[in-house]
Homo-oligomer: A and B are copies of this chain.
Amino acid sequence: MPQEAVAGSLANRVATQLQDAIVSGALDLGQALSEDSIADALDVSRTPVRQALQLLQARGLVQIRPKAGTYVFEPTVEQIAELTEFRVTLERQAALWAFERSRAASAKTLAQVVETMEQAIADRDMRAYGRADTAFHEVFFKGCDNSYLWNSYTFNFAQVAALRTHLAAYTEAEPLRSFEDHKAIRDIFDSGQASELEPILAPHILRTRENYTATLRQRQERLSESRIEQLRRALDPTSFSPKRGLESAPQREETQ
């Protein structure tokens, strides 16, 4: 993995490490983070940790409750819907501008990324496909030549990346469907018209919403069931039955 040379101040390094941990899934959604523990774990003082956490709060990755605690963000179904909607707005515009302003360069990069995806699918390496997916959509924001749009992207879409890791439950068919979209977009950049972008891009993004929402619902059910189980066990140990409601539920071991 990257972890490359790490840039600048301690605070930035801490922020990067924390963001990586959240995006990669090493830290669970909703998990409590204490400034002290992080400072100890990373062998720095609380000052840069606080700075980092404030930055991550601005990016929507953590929530700071004054005097109470700091927690990894935990999206609701509504938030996911709003984020996706917002993403469509920004990305549609970015793609359009990239098409108008950096078409040749963007087309070239998109083609390369699509090849990477092809390889990832052949290898059945879903992690590599996810990385390529991120790279694909980044092309628009890099090529659109508007720093505010780019900032908005990096700011809000750390959440998107985290959701992908935590909530993406690719079905067998899903990556192929998504891959078709990617190829279509590549072709439009190669030899199509700008007006063809929207009818592909918008549904492409909105489809991820269903995916995340479904997973989140499952996750919430699982959590509440597990809470019920715990309660039952605690309150009425004699009648406790070991039968589990969800057999296929991946057993999430406690975060490392």
Given contacts A66-B8, A89-B89, contact A82 B148 (CB under 8 A): yes
Minimum distance in angstroms from A59 CB to a CB of chain B: 9
A178 at the interface (CB under 8 A from B): no
* Nearest opposing residue in chain B for A146, CB measure: B82
Which residues on B sit within 8 Å (CB–CB) of A93?
89
Q: How many copies does the complex hold?
A: 2
A149 at the interface (CB under 8 A from B): yes
A241 at the interface (CB under 8 A from B): no
* Nearest opposing residue in chain B for A86, CB measure: B148
Instruction: Evaluate contact between A148 and B66: CB separation under 8 angstroms.
Output: no
The complex places the Cα of A156 from the Cα of B150 at a distance, in Å, of 12
Instruction: Evaluate contact between A86 and B55: CB separation under 8 angstroms.
Output: no
The complex places the Cα of A156 from the Cα of B54 at a distance, in Å, of 18
Minimum distance in angstroms from A13 CB to a CB of chain B: 13
Given contacts A9-B66, A66-B9, contact A86 B54 (CB under 8 A): no
Which residues on B sit within 8 Å (CB–CB) of A89?
89-90, 93, 149
Which residues on B sit within 8 Å (CB–CB) of A156?
148, 152
The complex places the Cα of A54 from the Cα of B89 at a distance, in Å, of 28
Minimum distance in angstroms from A47 CB to a CB of chain B: 9
| CB within 8 Å of B: which A41-91 residues | 51, 54-55, 58, 66, 79, 82-83, 85-86, 89-90
A147 at the interface (CB under 8 A from B): yes
| CB within 8 Å of B: which A155-189 residues | 155-156
| CB within 8 Å of B: which A108-146 residues | 146
Given contacts A54-B54, A89-B89, 20 further A-B contacts (CB under 8 A): A8-B66, A9-B66, A51-B54, A54-B55, A55-B58, A58-B58, A79-B147, A82-B146, A82-B147, A82-B148, A83-B148, A85-B146, A85-B148, A86-B148, A86-B149, A86-B152, A89-B90, A89-B149, A152-B156, A155-B155
Residue numbers of A with Cβ under 8 A of B are 8-9, 51, 54-55, 58, 66, 79, 82-83, 85-86, 89-90, 93, 146-149, 152, 155-156
